[in-house]
């Protein structure tokens, strides 16, 4: 049975019910690898049909006998998803558009899948990641010709050798987005989230008393749940204590406000037998009650969504614990897990190619390595550990943003656009604040045409990451 989320129309500022789900995604065509099926001739051009399509849609075909329902304890898009560990299992999706995003899951048990469009060269997708992420953008394929296409996912039965899991490699199909906007998945400890009340302890702005303590049991914040059922949870970089997960409160009047710029926003949380009612308010509009009670626990579920927001201006989402509850609930707990913010433009992942080619959009010099230890855009990022390491992104457009990370182990970067220095940007954040899929640098007003953006590592005792680049005013 499908579940539902609260939806707020910017025009009406009233709550109505819509199907729940995660965000869309960015990315590009990537470098193909794995099997190369015999190309087929795509059907004639038909108008693009953008939107979200669930795994139960008539346009989706699953190979018979290979797919079973995914765990019901997670808040999948539309309320359900399917999974398989069978090598050779396939899922296909017929759509009309120039880009498509596969929404699935990543975990330490995630396997490899080959993804192709219209029988063309396949791109191998790695679903291994240390945090467990549900209804997440797995991969986006751009630069398709206008018209109808068929996306095919083929399970390989193999997995990343770094995976510690002893379970069979798993592949999940949750939904598909056609012509999706950029999505950034913000964690509950993002610096753009300001808390008020008892769920934010006094040490948030002071030195972390657990810093340098190698004991994993040292957790300085009693209002933070670090378990792996939450977005970003269950991951630790010793000797630091666990970070990420979800923040909670049971105190009436406790609130938080997220300040963001985007065209839509979602609040991802959980439900449970001791959960209460939250009041959600967007841009000072009419508050909407969201009842988070459920007889059984559910994690990483989208409980609130607002679409159609004005682009390029600040918006404010406020969540308040009311102290009220469903009559069947045994408590008033409210949980904040993550937020999805969508923006206009096109996202290029750290390993994408230039449109219409197999030439890498980003070139790397110095010491770089792939990192899957946190909630990165489409699962991975490039990490530089040596000063002087440079990532050079080539793009066509009038604006660009560098998407990276800020935390206590991230160092400064020097930014250059078309060879001209734009200064040095500090990325240090005092623990426990951590910012992922974070806009470090942005510039607009460039002349139409091709440009370059360089990100250079500076420090000898910290690292930097290149997660993605967002381009505006260019080919979409």
Domain identity same for 273 and 354: no
Domain identity same for 385 and 396: yes
pLDDT at position 294 over 50: yes
Residue 354 lies in a domain: yes
Asked whether the beta carbons of 174 and 134 are under 8 A apart, the reply is yes
State pLDDT tens for residues 351-365: 999 998 999 999 999
CA 289 – CA 277 distance, rounded (Å): 7
Out of 106-120, 214-228, 326-340, 343-357, which region has the weakest mean confidence (pLDDT)? 214-228
Phi, psi of 335 (to 5 degrees): -115, 140
Asked whether the beta carbons of 8 and 305 are under 8 A apart, the reply is yes
Domain identity same for 175 and 296: no
Asked whether the beta carbons of 78 and 56 are under 8 A apart, the reply is yes
Mean pLDDT for the stretch of residues 322-345: 97
State pLDDT tens for residues 359-415: 999 999 999 999 999 999 999 999 999 999 999 999 999 999 999 999 999 999 999
Domain identity same for 292 and 367: no
The pLDDT of residue 198: 87
CA 406 – CA 437 distance, rounded (Å): 9
Asked whether the beta carbons of 275 and 365 are under 8 A apart, the reply is no
CA 250 – CA 331 distance, rounded (Å): 8
State pLDDT tens for residues 196-248: 998 864 333 333 444 444 444 444 455 677 788 999 987 866 666 666 789 99
Residue 11 lies in a domain: no
Asked whether the beta carbons of 275 and 292 are under 8 A apart, the reply is yes
CA 70 – CA 73 distance, rounded (Å): 9
Residue 109 lies in a domain: yes
Asked whether the beta carbons of 86 and 53 are under 8 A apart, the reply is no
Residue 265 lies in a domain: yes
Domain identity same for 308 and 413: no
347: β partners: 470
State pLDDT tens for residues 178-199: 999 999 999 999 999 999 998 8
Domain identity same for 255 and 163: no
Closest listed residue to residue 15, CA positions, set 256, 337, 322, 304: 304
State the CB neighbour count (10 A cutoff) for residue 321: 25
Last residue of one domain, picked from the residues 293, 310, 343 = 343
Tally of domains within the chain: 3
CA 108 – CA 318 distance, rounded (Å): 33
Last residue of one domain, picked from the residues 343, 373, 404 = 343
Residue 148 lies in a domain: yes
Domain extent for 296: 188-210+221-343
Domain identity same for 155 and 200: no
Helix (H, G, I), strand (E, B) or coil at 123: strand
365: β partners: 390
Residue 420 lies in a domain: yes
Q: How far is CA 147 from CA 32, 41, 119, 150, 270, in A?
A: 22, 12, 15, 10, 39
Domain identity same for 336 and 390: no
The pLDDT of residue 218: 45
The pLDDT of residue 43: 52
Domain identity same for 235 and 261: yes
Domain identity same for 201 and 160: no
Asked whether the beta carbons of 403 and 440 are under 8 A apart, the reply is yes
State the CB neighbour count (10 A cutoff) for residue 68: 10
Domain identity same for 149 and 249: no
Closest listed residue to residue 4, CA positions, set 239, 294, 225, 244: 294
The pLDDT of residue 41: 56
The pLDDT of residue 241: 60
Distinct helix (H) and strand (E) counts, the chain? 0, 38
Domain identity same for 158 and 205: no
Phi, psi of 458 (to 5 degrees): -115, -45
Out of 189-203, 293-307, 443-457, which region has the weakest mean confidence (pLDDT)? 189-203
CATH code of the domain in which 193 resides: 2.60.120.260
Residue 246 lies in a domain: yes
Q: Residue 19 burial by CB count (10 A; 0-12/13-18/19+): exposed, middle or buried?
A: middle
Q: What is the mean pLDDT of the chain?
A: 87
Tokens of 140: 């986006």
CA 154 – CA 409 distance, rounded (Å): 38
Last residue of one domain, picked from the residues 343, 358, 381 = 343
**52, 57, 59, 63 alpha-carbon torsion, rounded to 10°:** 120
Residue 102 lies in a domain: yes
Helix (H, G, I), strand (E, B) or coil at 190: coil
């Amino acid at each position: 049975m499908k579940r539902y989320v609260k939806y707020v129309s910017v025009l009406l500022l009233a709550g109505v019910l819509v199907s729940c789900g995660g965000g869309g995604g960015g990315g590009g065509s990537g470098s193909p690898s794995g099997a190369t099926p015999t190309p087929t001739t795509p059907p004639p051009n038909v108008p693009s049909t953008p939107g979200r399509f669930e795994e139960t849609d008539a346009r989706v075909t699953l190979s018979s006998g290979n797919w079973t329902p995914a765990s019901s304890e997670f808040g999948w898009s539309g309320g359900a998803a399917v999974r398989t560990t069978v090598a050779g299992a396939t899922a296909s999706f017929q759509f009309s558009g120039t880009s498509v995003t596969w929404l699935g899951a990543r975990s330490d048990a995630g396997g490899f899948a080959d993804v192709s469009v219209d029988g063309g060269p396949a791109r191998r997708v790695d679903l291994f990641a240390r945090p467990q992420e549900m209804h997440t953008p797995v991969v986006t394929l751009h630069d398709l010709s206008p018209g109808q296409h068929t996306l095919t996912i083929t399970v390989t039965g193999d997995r990343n050798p770094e995976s510690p899991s002893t379970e069979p490699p798993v592949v999940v199909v949750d939904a598909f987005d056609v012509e999706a906007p950029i999505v950034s998945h913000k964690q509950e400890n993002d610096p753009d989230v300001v808390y008020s009340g008892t769920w934010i302890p006094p040490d948030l702005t002071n030195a972390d008393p657990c810093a340098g303590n190698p004991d994993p049991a040292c957790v300085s914040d009693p209002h933070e749940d670090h378990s792996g059922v939450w977005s970003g949870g269950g991951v630790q970089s010793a000797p630091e204590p666990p970070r990420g997960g979800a923040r909670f409160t049971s105190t009436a009047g406790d609130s938080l406000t997220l300040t963001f710029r985007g065209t839509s926003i979602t609040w991802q949380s959980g439900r449970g037998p001791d959960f209460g009612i939250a009041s959600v308010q967007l841009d000072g509009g009419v508050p909407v009650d969201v009842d988070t009670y459920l007889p059984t626990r559910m994690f990483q579920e989208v409980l609130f969504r607002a679409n159609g927001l004005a682009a390029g201006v600040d918006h404010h989402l406020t969540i308040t614990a009311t102290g009220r509850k469903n009559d069947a609930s045994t408590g008033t707990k409210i949980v904040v897990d993550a937020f999805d913010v969508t923006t206009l433009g096109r996202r290029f992942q750290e390993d994408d190619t230039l449109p219409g080619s197999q030439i890498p959009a980003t070139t790397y010099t110095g010491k770089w390595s792939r990192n899957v230890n946190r909630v990165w855009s489409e699962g991975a990022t490039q990490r530089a550990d040596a000063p002087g390491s440079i990532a050079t992104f080539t793009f066509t457009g009038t604006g660009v943003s560098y998407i990276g990370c800020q935390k206590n182990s991230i160092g400064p970067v020097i930014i250059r656009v078309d060879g001209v220095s734009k200064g040095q940007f500090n990325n240090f954040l005092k623990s426990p604040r951590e910012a992922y899929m974070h806009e470090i640098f942005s510039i607009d007003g460039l002349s139409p045409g091709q440009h370059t953006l360089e990100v250079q590592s500076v420090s000898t005792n910290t690292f930097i990451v290149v997660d993605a680049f967002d381009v505006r005013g260019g080919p979409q």
